[in-house]
Amino acid sequence: MSFIAKPKITHPGLPRNEIGLTVRDYEGSMSTLCAGCGHDSVSSAIMQAYFELSIEPHRVAKVSGIGCSSKTPTYFLGGAHGFNSVHGRMPSIATGANAANRELQYIGVSGDGDSLSIGLGQFAHAIRRNVNMIYMLENNGVYGLTKGQFSASADKGSKAKKGAANAYSPIDPVLLAISLGCTFVARSFSGDKDQLVPLIKSAISHSGFALLDVISPCVTFNDHEGSTKSYAHTREHMRETVFADYIGAHEEILTRVEPGEARQVTMHDGSRVSFRHVDESYDPTDRIAAISYIEKHRAEGAVVTGLLYVEESSEDMHSTLGSAPQAMSDIPYQKLNPGADALKKIQSRWK
């Protein structure tokens, strides 16, 4: 942890977005994570994505649980709303907050421990409800805060820092999410912002639950030889299946995407995601094919990355529930809380 705060001074030529902000206006406090932590790089990609989409920080709500990853919302979008909940309970908080104010954009940040052990049930049900949020799973295969024990996402046979091999099979959040009916599933790597930033932008524009499983190496406890979640191992075994380019609703398609090669999916807000197929045979809208493709490559030791599954016509929690079209905070109090007499009237119907 540095003793000085990041100086406010910046490059006078730094680009500004449509609302006149620079990427530095999307910063939070100085990170207290270990130097070189993948999570800091993910935070930086998140700032870049919100900056590029010209989203005002105060229109965003950040939620998290417990763990190294769950500390990170403090380190980005200082102007956003935030709630740091108990271990594994972030999805409930996000669901409740989203139910109350559907007009904010929600980003939940969690880790492999928070999501796949103590919070697995919460994680599954947020997917099932299709809460409109980004679920950023910063996945490093270890419990960093408690000194590097294997987590539920650690690969079988993967070595701990002192050499012990992991005896258990991992839970793959991507496969789990697809099988639970998640409508936007991507995997990326903290050390590849060229891939990660467009994926976050696409996830922001997706209406429904968007899971981003990001391999984010623990530089202190899981970046050694024998680890399957180190910087070097991930770079070596990463297999980019689909490259997703985010295209804003009003942007022209970049010329580098050749027509015929690229396939487009239109998102809820009119923006588009253009896929550049690295592997021609892959179809990110075919759920069954996606599962078998990911399983097959996992068996070969490859880490499949990119936007792996997306459902264009996704119906989020509010459409399913038919809830009010506006945020509850915008509904007059009298209407939201009609009082004891109204409650009695309703209760009398079931007497």
Partner 1 sequence: MKSTNPLDPDHYHRVVDCQWGCPAHTDVPKYIRQIAQGDFTAAYLENRKSNVFPGVLGRVCDRPCEPACRRGRLDESPVAICRLKRVAADLSDDIRDKLPPKGPANGKRIACVGAGCASLTVANDLLPLGYDITIFEKHDKPGGLMRTNIPSFRLPEEVLDNEIDLIVERGVDLRLNSPIDSMQTLLDEGYDAVFVGTGAPRGKDLNLPGRHDTDRIHIGIDWLESVAFDHIDTIGENVLIIGVGNTAMDCCRSSLRLGGKNVSVIARKPRGWFKASDWELEDAEEENVDILINHSPKAFIVEDGVLKGMTFDKLHYDISDTGELSRPEVIEEIFLPCDDVILAIGQENSFPWIERDLGMSFDEWDTPTVDKVTHAAEIPGVFFGGDSAFGPKNIIWAVEHGHQAAISIHKHCSGEDVSDRPPTAMNLLSTKMGIHEWSYSNDFDDAERRQMQHVELTQRFKDIRIEVELGFDAEQTAREVERCLNCDVQTVFAESLCIECDACMDVCPVYCLTITEDAEEDVLRQQLRAPADNKEQVLYVSGALPQTGKVMVKDENLCIHCGLCAERCPTGAWDMRKSQLLVPYANDEAAEARKKTA
The helix/strand/coil state of 265 is strand
**Residue 4 or 288 having the CB closest to partner 1:** 4
Q: Is residue 235 a contact point for partner 1 (CB under 8 A)?
A: yes
What 3-state class would DSSP assign to 323?
A: coil
Distances (CA, A) of 325 to 240, 312, 321, 334: 39, 21, 11, 17
Give the SS3 label for residue 2: coil
Closer by beta carbon to partner 1, 193 or else 268:
193
- The residue type at 39: H
Strand partners, 214: 138, 188
Give the residue, chosen from 16, 19, 32, 35, that forms a contact with partner 1 under the rule CB under 8 A: 35
Nearer to partner 1 by Cβ, of 103 and 236: the residue is: 236
One residue of 21, 25, 28, 41 binding partner 1 per CB under 8 A? 41
Told to check if 8 binds partner 1 by CB under 8 A, we report: yes
Q: How far is the CB of 323 from partner 1 (least distance, A)?
A: 38
Asked if residue 13 binds partner 1 (CB under 8 A), the reply is: yes
Which segment (37-45, 84-92, 201-209, 290-298) binds partner 1 by CB under 8 A?
A: 37-45
Cβ proximity of 123 and 116 under 8 Å: yes
Q: Out of 155, 223, 311, 316, name the contact with partner 1 by CB under 8 A.
A: 223
305/180 Cα distance (integer angstroms): 19
List, in sequence order, every residue forming a beta bridge with 211; answer none if it has no partner.
Answer: 135, 185
Three-state SS at 244: strand
Using CB under 8 A, pick the residue from 78, 120, 231, 268 that binds partner 1: 231
78 and 139 Cβ atoms separated by less than 8 Å? no
Q: Is residue 259 at the binding interface for partner 1, with CB under 8 A as the rule?
A: no
Residue among 15 and 96 whose Cβ is closer to partner 1: 15
The reply on whether position 44 binds partner 1 by CB under 8 A is yes
- From candidates 16, 18, 19, 36, binder to partner 1 by CB under 8 A: 36
Q: Which two tokens stand for residue 243?
A: 């490259």
What counts of helices (H) and strands (E) characterise the chain?
A: 12, 13
Given its phi and psi angles, is residue 265 left (phi above 0), alpha (psi -120 to 50 degrees) or beta?
beta
Lay out the site mask for partner 1 across 187-216 (x = CB under 8 A, - = otherwise).
---xx-x-----------------------
Q: How far is the CB of 108 from partner 1 (least distance, A)?
A: 21
Count of residues in the chain: 351
In angstroms, what is the minimal distance from the CB of 85 to partner 1?
Answer: 26
> Shortest Cβ distance from residue 234 to partner 1 (Å)?
10
Q: Quick check: 165 and 157 in contact, CB under 8 A?
A: yes
Q: Judged by CB under 8 A, does residue 232 bind partner 1?
A: yes
Q: Using CB under 8 A, pick the residue from 7, 259, 322, 325 that binds partner 1.
A: 7
The residue from 21, 26, 28, 38 that contacts partner 1 (CB under 8 A) is: 38
Closest CA to 43 of 163, 193, 153: 193
- The pairing of beta strand 133-139 with beta strand 142-143: unpaired
Beta carbon of residue 171, minimum distance to partner 1 (angstroms, whole number):
25
Q: How far apart are CA 206 and CA 190, in angstroms?
A: 21
Q: Give contact residues for partner 1 (rule: CB under 8 A).
A: 1-4, 6-15, 24, 31, 34-38, 40-41, 43-44, 190-191, 193, 217, 219-220, 223, 231-232, 235
